[in-house]
């Protein structure tokens, strides 16, 4: 079964071909970061227009890389939500029109399920069941994953997600968009324990998160410095922020593993590429005897490969494909609505 995957939920256009027998055949990705950097954040209308410009050339590139033709495709998977409405509509319309032309079915995919399953594309894929730490964009969640479509929410963010806190704190430190990635790099130059920032909800007794207070602590630290922020201050503040963030994510993940009696942790989403988070989790896994799995770095951010994979796995698990030509997007779409949506 050959599945074409299309991702267009925000500011990356991704296309991929996934074969149920041979695995990922090819993928292509275009990021709009440079365009949105001029405005300090994603401009939805510009994002939608750029997806329109990129989707056909990326499809051609993907087919050429794989040595396949459109007629070889058995189904078309695309991101139905959550995401920016206009951006989602571009991918949905393209996928549905293409499927009608090819007389093939479509598979609407939940964006976060794509991230959740993306470590299955790695050279060291996890086996079910496992605990998943999903740290993608506006989402920070811990889940117990029994299989495709079998998810139990263990804890989630009550306000700012990890990725949002990274970006907002980066902006407070005067870093250009996207601030989160630059903050992580800057933190490598900082000295540990120069500043001590709060660890929100670390001892809350549950598995929920809250990072708005951590962001506010960075704001107060910046205000104390006055108008001039030295390079040394920025590096040390970035280090302090990242240390606080990593400790909370680590401790909550360990607690989730213990409560569920599991020895496998999956970390997925953009923050999953953070070097300090990976290093800390790897050290703790070695010390406490559990396994931790990540997607390849190319698949931490939004991409078509995870959508093609999720679509293929959905079909294999019994979720029926739908007839092409039915346009439907869900800019707001809780992942738990996808749980157990399979045929008997």
pLDDT of amino acid 340: 61
- Which tens digit of pLDDT belongs to each residue from 286-341? 999 999 999 999 999 999 999 999 999 999 998 888 888 788 899 999 998 877 64
pTM of the model: 0.95
Omega of the bond leading into 129 within 30 degrees of 0 (cis)? yes
Question: Would the pLDDT of 343 be above 70?
Answer: no
pLDDT for 229 beyond 50: yes
Closest to 29 (Cα-Cα) out of 2, 49, 9, 3: 9
Structure tokens at 178: 């996207």
> Is beta strand 106-110 parallel, antiparallel or unpaired with respect to 75-81?
parallel
**Which of 111, 83, 150, 141 shows the shortest CA–CA distance to 267?**
141
pLDDT tens-digit series, residues 95-144: 999 999 999 999 999 999 999 999 999 998 999 999 999 998 889 999 99
Residue 292 phi, psi dihedral angles, 5° rounding? -125, 135
Task: Name the least confident of 2-16, 82-96, 330-344.
Answer: 330-344
Helices and strands, number each (H, E), in the chain: 10, 10
pLDDT (mean) for 5-26: 98
Distance CA(225)–CA(114), nearest Å, equals 42
Write phi, then psi, for 163 (nearest 5 degrees). -60, -40
pLDDT of residue 344: 30
pLDDT value for 137? 82
How sure is the predictor about 235, in pLDDT bands with cuts at 50, 70 and 90?
very high
Report how far residue 115's alpha carbon sits from residue 305's, in angstroms, rounded to the nearest whole number: 10
**End-to-end Cα separation, the chain, in angstroms:** 21
Query: Which pLDDT does position 341 carry in this prediction?
Result: 47
The residue-averaged pLDDT of 264-289 equals: 96
Which residue segments constitute the domains of the chain, with CATH numbers given?
A: 2-116+300-338 (3.30.420.40), 126-294 (3.30.420.40)
* Closest by CA position to 177, among listed 15, 337, 38, 16: 38
Q: Give tens-digit pLDDT for 169-224.
A: 999 999 999 899 999 999 999 999 999 999 999 999 999 999 999 999 999 999 99
Share of the chain above pLDDT 90, in %: 90
| CB distance 18 to 36 below 8 Å | no
Between 1 and 137, the higher pLDDT residue? 1
Counting every residue, how long is the chain? 344
pLDDT at 326: 80
């Amino acid at each position: 079964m050959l599945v074409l995957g299309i991702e267009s939920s925000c500011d990356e256009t991704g296309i991929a071909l996934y074969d149920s027998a041979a695995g990922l055949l090819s993928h292509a990705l275009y990021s709009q970061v440079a365009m949105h950097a001029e405005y300090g954040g994603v401009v939805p209308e510009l994002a939608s227009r750029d997806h329109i410009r990129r989707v056909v050339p990326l499809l051609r590139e993907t087919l050429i890389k794989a040595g396949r033709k459109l007629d070889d495709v058995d189904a078309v998977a695309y991101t139905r939500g959550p995401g920016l409405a206009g951006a989602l509509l571009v991918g949905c319309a393209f996928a549905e029109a293409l499927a009608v032309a090819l007389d093939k079915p479509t598979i609407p995919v939940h964006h976060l399920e794509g991230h959740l399953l993306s470590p299955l594309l790695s050279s060291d894929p996890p086996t079910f069941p496992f605990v998943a730490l999903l740290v993608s964009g506006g989402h920070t969640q811990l889940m117990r994953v029994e299989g495709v479509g079998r998810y139990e929410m263990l804890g989630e963010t009550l306000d700012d997600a990890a990725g949002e806190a990274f970006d907002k704190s980066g902006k407070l430190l005067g870093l250009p968009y996207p601030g989160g990635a630059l903050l992580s790099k800057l933190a490598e130059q900082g000295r540990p324990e120069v500043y001590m920032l709060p660890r929100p909800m670390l001892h809350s007794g549950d598995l929920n998160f809250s990072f708005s207070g951590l962001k506010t602590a960075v704001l107060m630290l910046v205000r104390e410095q006055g108008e001039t922020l030295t390079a040394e201050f920025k590096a040390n503040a970035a280090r302090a922020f990242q240390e606080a963030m990593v400790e909370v994510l680590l401790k909550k993940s360990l607690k989730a593993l213990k409560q569920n009696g599991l020895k496998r942790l999956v970390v997925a989403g953009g923050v999953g590429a953070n070097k300090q988070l990976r290093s800390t989790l790897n050290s703790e896994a070695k010390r406490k005897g559990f396994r931790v799995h990540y997607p390849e770095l190319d698949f931490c951010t939004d991409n078509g490969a995870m959508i093609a994979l999720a679509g293929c796995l959905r079909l294999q698990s019994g979720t029926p494909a739908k007839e092409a030509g039915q346009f439907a997007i869900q800019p707001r779409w809780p992942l738990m609505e996808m749980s157990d949506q399979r045929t008997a």
